Structure 1
Amino acid sequence: MTRATIEAYYDAFNRGDLDAMLDTLHEDFAHNVNEGATRLGKAAFADFCRHMSETYKEHLTDMVVFSNDAGTRGAAEFTVNGTYLKTDPGLPEARGQTYVLPAGGFFTLKDGKITRVTTYYNLNDWIAQVSA
């Protein structure tokens, strides 16, 4: 069930289906994004996702999902294939640059729902790609 929940989360991401992503989340949810502050709750996560979809167009490929036997922890490794659409404050100017970036996510689950997502990628690699 853990792997299926994580796969459903990322399948919804790739479809751009925020409601389906939110359906995979527990009411007690925390989102830790690379180089950023922790967001608590589904509403804060939804706001983040809306901002991201205005600023970046991303599709994840090469997905591999792992989980522990207890069904309480999981991870995913994947490639982010993206286009930088709109300048994000504090980052280089957006000009429609494309990027390909290895990334990963780490999960905690309770009652079959995600209580924590922590996302990691190499920000310096991304900056170099969109600055070239």
Structure 2
Amino acid sequence: MSAAETRSLIERYYAAFNDGSVEGMLALLDEDVAHDVNQGERRIGKDAFKEFSFHMKRCYREHLTDIVIMTSEDGSHGAAEFTVNGTYLATDEGLPEAKGQTYTLPAGSFFQIEDGKIVRVTTYYNLNDWTRQVGG
């Protein structure tokens, strides 16, 4: 893929995220996608990604803004930095109690692309900052 095609793929991924479309994100992923989440274990495969995404939708309502996408020249890798604007809807295991708290958090993700599909997504944010914002 070219750098422009990778940029378009990542743009579509975040558009699906902001639309709340788990199916839209899944369509862009390789069957054996590696999903690395902040402070968590690596999940392998679309089913694990789907399970995680629905868990997140239950606990959090998030919308990403200020998205800046960067790609390698050969299109094999990409990265994005963005602002997460969220509401904590339901208590997530091991985290503070949810009471509808809102938060704004800088975050970033890294992507690996093969054959037009995302084969790895790694996301980072500052959990201590999020915990402070939700009153934990």
TM > 0.5: yes
The match for 2:101 is 97
Structure 1 runs not aligned, ≥5 long: none
Structure 2 runs not aligned, ≥5 long: none
For normalisation by structure 1, the TM-score amounts to 0.98
Root-mean-square deviation (Å): 0.7
Q: Percent of pairs identical after alignment?
A: 62
Which stretches of structure 1, 4 residues or more, deviate above 2 A after TM superposition?
none
CA distance in 1, matches of 2:30, 2:9: 11
The amino acid of 2:51's aligned partner reads D
The more displaced of 23-32 and 89-98 is: 23-32
CA distance in 2, matches of 1:98, 1:64: 23
The match for 1:79 is 83
For normalisation by structure 2, the TM-score amounts to 0.96
CA distance in 1, matches of 2:32, 2:85: 30
Residues 1:106 and 2:99 aligned together = no
The match for 1:67 is 71
What displacement does 1:28 show?
2.3
Residues 1:48 and 2:38 aligned together = no
What displacement does 1:55 show?
0.2
What displacement does 1:51 show?
0.3
Aligned length: 132
CA distance in 1, matches of 2:115, 2:76: 9
The amino acid of 1:27's aligned partner reads E
What displacement does 1:27 show?
1.7
Residues 1:28 and 2:41 aligned together = no
CA distance in 1, matches of 2:47, 2:100: 28
CA distance in 2, matches of 1:52, 1:67: 27
The match for 1:6 is 10
